């Protein structure tokens, strides 16, 4: 691994962060260098500190430890992410024999200079008890690959030749801080400490020295890994007709959704990975052994659970059998997790949920599981990194993690769980929503409205674009491909807003059959194609769902010369009712929004002029010609879709969003 230190960049940081002083500016600089290297830390892992001096309001100089605060990621840390804690009171704690977590957290908070600062890292005392000005802590992949094996200490002796002290595994907190200080005191010439099965600490008098000692240690570890005699991983004998992702993912997503009596299931979002490294890992003949051995570094466990759920390879055309095998696999996962809890709980912990966070499917790949795409991505990233580490260990020796009791103590450590936060979930968190015609007008407003309720929203649009999935609702293939992409991105779908449409005008006695058919193609068959694809996925999940159709008020109250648009919309209203009828037993609700006169790309200003003329009124009167006398917006329609999605016992309903129009009231 190369050092990315640059004198010019260091000077820039010092200039940019002049107000906080050179020490903290350089601390920010090298923390970011470490945080931006995926092979060193991921997603808020690791921590850094600098010992410096600040002046308080009275002009007194105070020695402080600026240490990474909880909730900050080193990759983009700022000075407030390194809160200052009074150093002398921290150092005096070293005299104690033991210290409870509660007392430690309270003491750290009590010694913060800024009362509003985040909690200092759980490893703060380790930083404080070491004498060096700069201390860097990472979970470097290459170092883990040397230590996550039975002879890790011996290998580290050989590789680091006494330049790093070796610390046996002890859970983070006060006891580890004391142990590290003792080991350092016996070898005060070392450049750092290897925490076996946990990670690396390096230190120095300058930011550069501490940082480059990390790089040097990692480079030495990498050389050793590359130089050893490599054993090739034996592959399992797998069928060559593996089922496809779009078939398997909804089955798994349904499986890991927690069913709750009388309430909506607690759904999960799935993100999928199948890089060559992932495939090599999940297809290994000994997956059951190394795959269940435990985390590569302890703080992964709150994101990945102690072990993944491992399922057999799913075969094409045998999905019902796979569904059954997967169900049994999930049941035994839940039982094994319950037994693990019972084995290690000393009586005062409450069990966490027993839903796997990582699912391995030989032949197919790996799924990260989480309450949101972000959480699922974190689980998948950590799992993918662990696969690299385990793969590197396994070329030379069997992978070995910390003991199961140590894994449990870490997973159920209140200070670790606190990192996950306990904010209340939004109303549509854990839901995957697809919106057709989502790039503009009512669709775009709907995408925004669902996102603000916490949903993961896939934008489907004929225009495609950077964020949107291309979807032409007049083509069955295009709709099918679009939903496959939604499944690949999130694991399935729960709510579909079938919104794409196009306006056609013409007096019905004069209109050509071609125009009428073209309108039916998008304004009726388009909805049918979308609903059909969505329902297939929802049924595979088995957790219900919601279909929401945008039917114009033309469906119930035809306007003059608007037949080519209103007729298919009327058919779509009937389509909605048919879905409600035929799929209510699947827990799938179907509802429609009957909106009128929304200024969008579909009802353009030119069309408004034409419609107003057809009715013999002014444009303003046309747009506000309703009982409330106010123009209705795309945002009003979007809110109606959201409320219908939340109306758990409403199906086959039409919600009118038109400012009030008695003639268009459904009856």
Give the integer Cα–Cα distance in Å for 489 and 299.
Answer: 26
CB of 175 to Zn ion, least distance (A): 14
Q: What is the pattern of x (binds Zn ion, CB under 5 A) and - over residues 62-101?
A: ----------------------------------------
Of residues 46 and 443, the one with the C-beta less far from Zn ion: 46
Helix (H) or strand (E) holding 177: helix 174-186
Of residues 330 and 413, the one with the C-beta less far from Zn ion: 413
Give the integer Cα–Cα distance in Å for 26 and 32.
Answer: 10
Tell me the C-alpha to C-alpha distance, in Å, between residue 639 and each of 205, 264, 588, 646, 656: 58, 21, 20, 11, 12
Of residues 145 and 654, the one with the C-beta less far from Zn ion: 145
* Number of Cβ atoms within 10 Å of the Cβ of 627: 10
Q: Which residues within the stretch 3-62 sit at the binding site for Zn ion (CB under 5 A)?
A: none
Task: Find all residues with CB under 8 Å of 231, minimum gap 6, and list them.
Answer: 394, 395, 396
Backbone angles phi, psi at 542, to 5 degrees: 70, 20
CB of 234 to Zn ion, least distance (A): 33
CB of 198 to Zn ion, least distance (A): 6
CB of 433 to Zn ion, least distance (A): 37
Compute the Cα dihedral for 130, 135, 137, 142 and give only its sign.
negative
Give the integer Cα–Cα distance in Å for 46 and 195.
Answer: 12
Of residues 176 and 251, the one with the C-beta less far from Zn ion: 176
CB of 86 to Zn ion, least distance (A): 23
* Number of Cβ atoms within 10 Å of the Cβ of 523: 30
CA dihedral 592, 596, 597, 602 (to 10 degrees): 30
Give the integer Cα–Cα distance in Å for 163 and 156.
Answer: 10
Task: Find all residues with CB under 8 Å of 242, minimum gap 6, and list them.
Answer: 313, 314, 315, 316, 363, 364
Rg (CA), the chain: 30
Place of tokens 């008020």: 553
* Number of Cβ atoms within 10 Å of the Cβ of 161: 9
User: 53 and 62 in contact (C-beta within 8 Å)?
Assistant: yes
CB of 8 to Zn ion, least distance (A): 31
Find, among 58, 146, 86, 204, the residue nearest to 389 by Cα.
146
Of residues 132 and 253, the one with the C-beta less far from Zn ion: 132
CB of 137 to Zn ion, least distance (A): 6
Of residues 44 and 564, the one with the C-beta less far from Zn ion: 44
Of residues 298 and 587, the one with the C-beta less far from Zn ion: 298
User: 248 and 269 in contact (C-beta within 8 Å)?
Assistant: no
Of residues 213 and 484, the one with the C-beta less far from Zn ion: 213
Of residues 44 and 199, the one with the C-beta less far from Zn ion: 199
Q: Which positions are catalytic?
A: 552, 565, 569
Place of tokens 């069928």: 239
Q: Which residues within the stretch 188-217 sit at the binding site for Zn ion (CB under 5 A)?
A: 199
Find, among 415, 469, 499, the residue nearest to 103 by Cα.
415
Ranked by CB distance to Zn ion, the top (closest) residue is 199
Tell me the C-alpha to C-alpha distance, in Å, between residue 654 and each of 434, 480, 547, 595: 20, 27, 12, 10
CB of 112 to Zn ion, least distance (A): 21
CB of 10 to Zn ion, least distance (A): 25
Of residues 200 and 257, the one with the C-beta less far from Zn ion: 200
User: 44 and 72 in contact (C-beta within 8 Å)?
Assistant: yes
Give the integer Cα–Cα distance in Å for 108 and 49.
Answer: 14
Place of tokens 């580490």: 389
CB of 527 to Zn ion, least distance (A): 53
Binding residue count for Zn ion, defined by CB under 5 A = 1
Helix (H) or strand (E) holding 211: helix 207-227
- Helix intervals (H) in 542-595: 563-583
Question: Which residues contact Zn ion (rule: CB under 5 A)?
Answer: 199
């Amino acid at each position: 691994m190369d050092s990315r230190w640059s004198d010019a960049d260091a000077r820039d940081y010092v200039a940019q962060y002049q107000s906080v002083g050179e020490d903290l500016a350089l601390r920010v600089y090298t923390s970011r260098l470490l945080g931006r290297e995926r092979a060193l830390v991921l997603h808020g892992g690791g921590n850094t500190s600098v010992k410096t001096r600040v002046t308080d309001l009275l002009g007194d100089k105070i020695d402080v430890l600026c240490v990474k605060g909880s909730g900050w990621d080193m990759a983009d840390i700022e000075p407030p992410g390194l809160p200052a804690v009074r150093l002398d009171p921290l150092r005096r704690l070293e005299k104690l024999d033991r210290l409870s977590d509660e007392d430690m957290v309270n003491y750290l908070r009590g010694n913060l200079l800024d009362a509003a600062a985040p909690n200092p890292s759980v490893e703060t005392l380790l930083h404080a008890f070491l004498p060096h000005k700069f201390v860097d802590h990472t979970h470097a992949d290459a170092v883990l690959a040397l230590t996550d094996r039975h002879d890790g200490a011996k290998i580290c002796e050989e590789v680091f030749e006494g330049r790093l002290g070796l610390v046996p595994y002890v859970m983070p907190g006060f006891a580890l801080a004391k142990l590290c200080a003792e080991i350092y005191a016996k070898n005060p010439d070392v450049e750092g400490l290897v925490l076996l099965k946990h990670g690396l600490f390096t230190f120095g008098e300058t930011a550069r020295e501490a940082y480059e000692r990390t790089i040097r240690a990692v480079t030495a570890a990498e050389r050793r890994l590359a130089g050893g005699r490599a054993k090739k991983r034996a592959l399992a004998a797998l069928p060559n007709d593996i089922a496809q992702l779009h078939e398997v993912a909804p089955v798994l997503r349904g499986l890991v959704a927690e069913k709750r009596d009388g309430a909506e299931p607690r759904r999960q979002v799935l993100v999928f990975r199948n890089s060559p490294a992932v495939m090599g890992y999940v297809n290994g003949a000994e997956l059951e052994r190394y795959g269940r051995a435990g985390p590569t570094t302890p703080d992964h466990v709150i994101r990945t659970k102690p072990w993944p759920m491992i399922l057999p390879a799913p075969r094409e055309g045998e999905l019902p059998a796979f569904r059954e095998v997967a169900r049994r696999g999930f049941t035994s996962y839940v039982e094994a997790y319950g037994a693990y809890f019972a084995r290690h709980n000393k009586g005062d912990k409450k069990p966490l949920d027993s839903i796997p966070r990582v699912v391995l499917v030989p032949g197919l790949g790996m799924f990260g599981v989480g309450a949101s795409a972000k959480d699922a991505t974190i689980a998948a990233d950590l799992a993918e990194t662990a696969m690299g580490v385990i793969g590197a260990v396994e070329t030379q020796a069997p992978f070995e993690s910390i003991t199961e009791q140590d894994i449990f103590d870490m997973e159920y450590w209140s200070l670790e769980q606190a990192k996950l936060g306990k904010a209340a979930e939004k109303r549509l968190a854990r839901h995957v929503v697809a919106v057709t015609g989502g790039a503009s007008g009512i669709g775009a407003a709907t995408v925004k409205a669902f996102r603000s309720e916490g949903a993961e929203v896939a934008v489907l649009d004929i225009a495609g674009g950077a964020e949107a999935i291309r979807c032409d609702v007049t083509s069955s293939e295009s709709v099918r491909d679009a939903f496959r992409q939604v499944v690949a991105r999130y694991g399935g779908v729960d709510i579909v807003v079938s919104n794409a449409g196009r306006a056609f005008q013409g007096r019905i006695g004069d209109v050509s059959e071609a125009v009428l058919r073209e309108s039916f193609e998008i304004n009726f068959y388009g909805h049918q194609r979308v609903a059909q694809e969505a329902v297939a996925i929802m049924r595979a999940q088995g957790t219900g769902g919601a279909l929401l159709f945008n039917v114009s008020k033309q469906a119930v109250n035809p306007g003059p010369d608007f037949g080519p648009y209103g007729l298919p919309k009327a058919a779509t209203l009937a389509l909605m009712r048919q879905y409600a009828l035929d799929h209510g037993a699947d827990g799938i609700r179907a509802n429609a929004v009957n909106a009128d006169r929304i200024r969008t790309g579909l009802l353009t200003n030119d069309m408004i002029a034409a419609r107003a003329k057809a009715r013999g009124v002014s444009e303003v009167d046309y747009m506000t010609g309703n009982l409330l006398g106010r123009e209705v917006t795309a945002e009003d329609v979007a809110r109606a879709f959201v409320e219908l999605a939340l109306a758990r016992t409403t199906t086959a309903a039409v919600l009118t969003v038109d400012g009030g129009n008695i003639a268009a009231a459904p009856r």
